[in-house]
Amino acid sequence: MSSHPTRTPCRQRPSYLALFLCSLLLMAGAAHGGRLEINVEPANEQVEDNIRAYIGDVSERDFASLRRFSSHARDQAVNAMRALGYYEGRVRFRVLDKEIPVLRLNVTLGEPVRLRNVDIRLEGEAAELGVFQLPRQLRLNSGDQLQHNRYEAIKRFYRNQALRFGFFDGGFTIQRLRVTPDERVADITLVYDSGPRYTLGEVVFPEDAYFNHRLLQRFVRFEPDTPYESDHVVQLIQDLRGSNYFQSVVVDADPQQAQERRIPIKAEVEERKPHSLNTGLGYSTDVGPRFRAGWTQHYLNDMGHRRGAELEVSEPRQNIATFYEIPLNPPMTDSLRFTGGYQTETIQDTESERFTVGTQWNRRLDTGWQQVVSLRYDQDRFRVGDDSRRRSDLLLPGLGYTRVVRDAPADPSRGYRLQVQATAAQRELISDTDILNITAEARGLITLFGGHRFLARLRLGAVGTNDFSGVPPSLRFFAGGDQSVRGYGFQQLSPQDENRNRVGGRYLVVTSAEYQYPLSPSWRLAAFVDHGNAVDDLGDPLKTGVGSGVRWISPVGPIRLDIARGLDSPESWRLHFSIGSEL
């Protein structure tokens, strides 16, 4: 007698019908996965969530698997209750054979265990540091309900602070949690001895590094024998990477290599390619399509001098600019920069051609403000409205201050920017006209619960002069556009002459308020009101623009697309497109 092997459909040559039937069988099997039901008396969402976390996912279990798993699930539920202080809790369970099998837990909590004696102490040098004081949310008092996760969090806090602030020999001499369930009380004793604090040694760079060691040491913000703090090491890494001198940075500060608790620091750096060239096409609703090209030589010598040039071409503006920069101490924030450039511009009713050379001394003050002391020579040839073409020669010393505080550079959730700048010219100093130009700007951002964001902006400006007709357009004020009063065209708002040509104003006032509603981590809706104008008299009326838009947090930074309308303008709605951080 011969036998014939049994063949199952899924082993035959697959067909669309067979695959479809197998898919249905798999879907049907998945549909019969288990479900967990928890009833807690009295109702307690924290306990229920903790039980679910301890038990885990049961959606892949059928009825038989749930029955085998049920006693383990009960034990996990008991452990989850005890972790939150419920040692009297009782758990009853049933497994229901339904179309979707159900594991049902009925939980009775009982009275929780409360803390009786709490003795938490810090000994050693760390006891004198405020950074080791327990945060309010971790402090325990007699009468508090026992929660094991808070007890463990306190231990993690001391260990993490010890590693962060250089107490590498620290440890718990006593760590005891004693629970007496019959009395519903618990006693805690925690004693952490920090031991002595380690210090930071000298930062050593490779002997064969291209850059002069005097320059490299300027990146180090701390002195040898400074008490250890991990933030100092992180800051050094960030400063070296942010210099644009290196393509790789590795800093090693290993406590195991310490001598007499002094940690040697080794910084391995690899220089980037000295030259970079970038080109790009862009678009903004202020100037339309534009082309940009830039060349930078990131270092010319071992002291980190750099130079570069940039070209920008759009329909209303053509600009070429060059710079030469000498890093100072510290090189992250302080520099001496020499600049030169040539620009032609035709916007609204003004035409200008400007040649400029100058120097800037940038330095960061101890208060956190960035100071810029500048001296610039501008030669302008310009025509405003129907006036004849004029030439202006100005020697402009300047002083500016900027302070930016934010929790992230590209897309902050809160922070502010403050900026004030003044430039002046006198006829006695190689200038045709007496001019004092002052601008100030403040921006603020706050994010509330649920990701709701509120932005505010204020920009003010004033120019004083003995002859306003001799002030070039670059030192007059115009309003309107993507970064000004939306709903109006770029530099559309301005005082006008008798022929309605826009000639620029003596004063500038622009305010803005914006609300953003989060759709997802990368998308937001926005609604805003802008109010302002460029005027010759502070009593002149201001213009208002209202609108809405969308924000996309792209890999290259926030991208904003708005549609707005000026309430004082008969024109239709305008689109506004811009890229960059809001602070």
State the CATH number of the domain containing residue 231: 3.10.20.310
- The residue type found at 392 is S
430/540 same-domain check = yes
Whether the per-residue pLDDT at 25 is higher than 60: the answer is no
The answer to the question of residue 4 being in a domain is no
The answer to the question of residue 396 being in a domain is yes
The answer to the question of residue 329 being in a domain is no
Whether the per-residue pLDDT at 82 is higher than 80: the answer is yes
185/209 same-domain check = no
Q: What is the pLDDT of residue 17?
A: 47
The answer to the question of residue 441 being in a domain is yes
* pLDDT band, residue 457 (cuts 50/70/90): very high
The answer to the question of residue 313 being in a domain is no
Task: Decide: 146 and 115 in contact? Cβ < 8 Å.
Answer: yes
With pLDDT > 90 as the criterion, what percentage of the chain qualifies?
Answer: 75
The CATH number for 414's domain is: 2.40.160.50
The β-bridge relationship of strands 543-554 and 246-252 is unpaired
Whether the per-residue pLDDT at 28 is higher than 70: the answer is no
Beta-sheet strands, E only, within 148-305: 171-180, 185-193, 199-204, 226-227, 246-252, 262-271, 275-284, 288-297
| Structural domain ending residue among the three candidates 108, 137, 169 | 108
66/175 same-domain check = no
Q: What is the mean pLDDT of residues 100-126?
A: 93
533/551 same-domain check = yes
The β-bridge relationship of strands 35-41 and 102-108 is parallel
The answer to the question of residue 227 being in a domain is yes
Q: What is the pLDDT of residue 32?
A: 54
The answer to the question of residue 288 being in a domain is no
418/502 same-domain check = yes
- The residue type found at 2 is S
Q: What is the mean pLDDT of residues 565-570?
A: 82
419/567 same-domain check = yes
Q: What is the pLDDT of residue 570?
A: 64
Q: What is the pLDDT of residue 6?
A: 38
The answer to the question of residue 567 being in a domain is yes
Residue 168 token pair:
């590498």
Whether the per-residue pLDDT at 24 is higher than 50: the answer is no
78/119 same-domain check = no
Mean residue pLDDT of the chain comes to 90
Residue bearing the bigger pLDDT, 281 or 307: 307
Model confidence pLDDT, tens digit, residues 331-382: 999 999 999 999 999 988 889 999 999 999 999 999 999 999 999 999 999 9
Whether the per-residue pLDDT at 385 is higher than 90: the answer is no
Q: What is the pLDDT of residue 165?
A: 96
163 vs 234: CA distance, rounded Å: 14
251/365 same-domain check = no
138/221 same-domain check = no
67/172 same-domain check = no
Q: Give the count of domains, the chain.
A: 4
402/489 same-domain check = yes
Closest CA to 362 of 340, 394, 330: 330
Residues written for the chain: 583
Tokens 């009063």, residue located: 485
pTM: 0.79
Strongest mean pLDDT among 55-64, 88-97, 525-534:
525-534
| Structural domain ending residue among the three candidates 59, 80, 108 | 108
* pLDDT band, residue 582 (cuts 50/70/90): confident
Q: What is the pLDDT of residue 478?
A: 95
Model confidence pLDDT, tens digit, residues 416-426: 999 999 999 99
Residue 537 token pair:
């008299």
Q: Cβ neighbours of residue 384 under 8 Å, at least 6 residues apart?
A: 349, 350, 469, 473, 501, 503, 504
* 3-state secondary structure (DSSP) of residue 360: strand
**Residue 85 CA from chain centroid, whole number:** 39
469 vs 478: CA distance, rounded Å: 15
Residue bearing the bigger pLDDT, 92 or 583: 92
- Domain containing residue 542: 357-579
Whether the per-residue pLDDT at 394 is higher than 60: the answer is yes
| Structural domain ending residue among the three candidates 160, 193, 226 | 193
Whether the per-residue pLDDT at 7 is higher than 60: the answer is no
Q: What is the pLDDT of residue 336?
A: 98
Residue bearing the bigger pLDDT, 496 or 372: 372
Least confident of 15-19, 396-400, 403-407, 521-525: 15-19
Task: Decide: 161 and 197 in contact? Cβ < 8 Å.
Answer: no
Whether the per-residue pLDDT at 146 is higher than 70: the answer is yes
188/267 same-domain check = no
Count CB neighbours of 68 within 10 A.
10
Model confidence pLDDT, tens digit, residues 219-277: 999 999 999 999 999 999 999 999 999 999 999 999 999 999 999 999 999 999 999 99
Residue 214 token pair:
């005097």
387 vs 503: CA distance, rounded Å: 10
Least confident of 213-217, 382-386, 570-574, 577-581: 570-574
